[in-house]
């Protein structure tokens, strides 16, 4: 994985975008030697978003299963607990 200093990214943005877009490279942007961001091919971002969606769905299914098993708190009771 290539690394670029944040102070140089303005000078190298065109080259960086070309490497990411055409060569499918991932580029880490660093500040004071520490990674702060990354430029990745759009396909990588789309994959990451699909994975996040899958995890969200699994968590939602687990929450629904738990609610079905243990029950839920009625809205009015919940509001009363919050003092609303």
pLDDT value, residue 84? 87
What is the C-alpha to C-alpha distance for residues 84 and 77, in angstroms, rounded to an integer? 10
pTM exceeding 0.75: no
What is the C-alpha to C-alpha distance for residues 70 and 50, in angstroms, rounded to an integer? 30
What CATH number labels 1-40?
Answer: 3.40.1620
Each residue of 7-59: pLDDT tens digit? 999 999 999 999 999 999 999 999 999 999 999 999 999 999 999 999 999 99
């Amino acid at each position: 994985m290539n690394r670029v200093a944040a102070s140089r990214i303005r000078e190298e943005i065109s080259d960086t975008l070309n490497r990411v877009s055409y060569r499918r490279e991932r580029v880490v942007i660093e500040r004071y030697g520490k990674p702060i961001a990354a430029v990745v091919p759009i396909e990588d971002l789309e994959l990451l978003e699909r994975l996040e969606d899958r995890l969200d769905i699994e968590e939602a299914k687990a929450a629904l299963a738990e609610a079905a098993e243990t029950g839920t708190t009625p809205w009015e009771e919940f509001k009363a607990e919050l003092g609303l």
